[in-house]
Copies of this chain bind each other. A is one copy, B any other.
Amino acid sequence: MQLLSQPSCFKKQHVLSVGQYTRADLHLLFTVAQEMRLGVQRSGVLDLLRGRVLCTLFYEPSTRTSASFDAAMQRLGGRTVAVAAGQSSVQKGETLQDTLRTLACYGDAVVLRHPDEGSVEVAERYSDVPVINAGNGSGEHPTQAFLDLFTIREELGTVQGLTITFVGDLRHGRTVHSLVRLLRHYQVRVQLVAPPGLELPEGVREELAASGKLRGEWAALTGEVISRSDVLYCTRVQRERFGSGDEYERVRGAYRVDNAALKHAKASMVVMHPLPRNDEVAEEVDFDQRAAYFRQMRYGLYCRMALLALVMAPM
């Protein structure tokens, strides 16, 4: 863990956007995450952040992300102070900057989830302690993108040379946006499969196309698309995105991954999903070794431990 005492772009810095990081930065993060994996398997809790306090401030509920950061901090030997904004002074009309400055008095870093994209600028401007963006509206969710990439590396050995297929609602999933942006650092081929109206936002798509990595776009998940994939990255398709229930029922079959769909897949392919899922991935798939989405959460724990350690470890 000598890596933690070296200077890096993480140390005492905000983590707001995947755009802040080079491939070398990611390499450092993943190397530390692998150490975390070994450390947790060996002793459950490490002592790297003993004496540190992390505040979590969630303006939107989230089991997964808040519990994951909480567990990550505690497995580093640190302490967590959780603030659910629903029951906070926000109700008394306090601004985000005042709440952040308050928590900066009590903790050594803040994990923030907020419905407004602009929340990250407020954090950058006003917080004296590092703020980690855990989702800013339909903006970014950088730690999810880190853990997605780490999952691919751990499951398949490398990201280089892979064909990665994104399936589902690519418009609203900030997870996908952040991950696609991170993939610019790697030699990959990307396939996009989305229902009409739920395609990747134009800006993200343009950037991807300009990089020469966009392999093709489809309106339905076909056997051929699956057969070329090394990673099948599924996202939640929410009924409420569709005008009518009928419309939803008509398209959902075209994006659903089940055992029949997996017949077309390579033996080494992995199915990923940021969870929670609706029925885009059938439960029967859970029993297929290619289903990586529960392991993905475990990788998330290691990745967030690595990030917290890199940001918060004492000099």
Contact = CB atoms under 8 A, between A and B. Distances in A.
Interface string A82-102: 011111111111100011011
B67 A103 contact: yes
Interface of A: 43-45, 50-53, 55, 61-64, 67-68, 70-71, 74-75, 79, 81, 83-94, 98-99, 101-103, 105-108, 236, 275-278, 294, 297-298, 300-301, 314
A50 B45 contact: yes
A67 B87 CA distance: 12
Contacts of A107: 71
22 contacts: A44-B50, A44-B51, A44-B52, A45-B50, A45-B51, A55-B67, A63-B83, A63-B94, A67-B83, A68-B106, A71-B81, A71-B106, A84-B87, A86-B87, A89-B275, A92-B236, A94-B276, A98-B276, A99-B276, A101-B294, A105-B301, A106-B301
Given A61-B88, A70-B81, A276-B94, A102 B297 contact: yes
A63 B102 contact: yes
A91 B298 contact: no
Identical chains bound together, number: 3
A64 B314 CA distance: 26
A121 to B, nearest CB: 15
Contacts of A300: 105
A87 B83 CA distance: 12
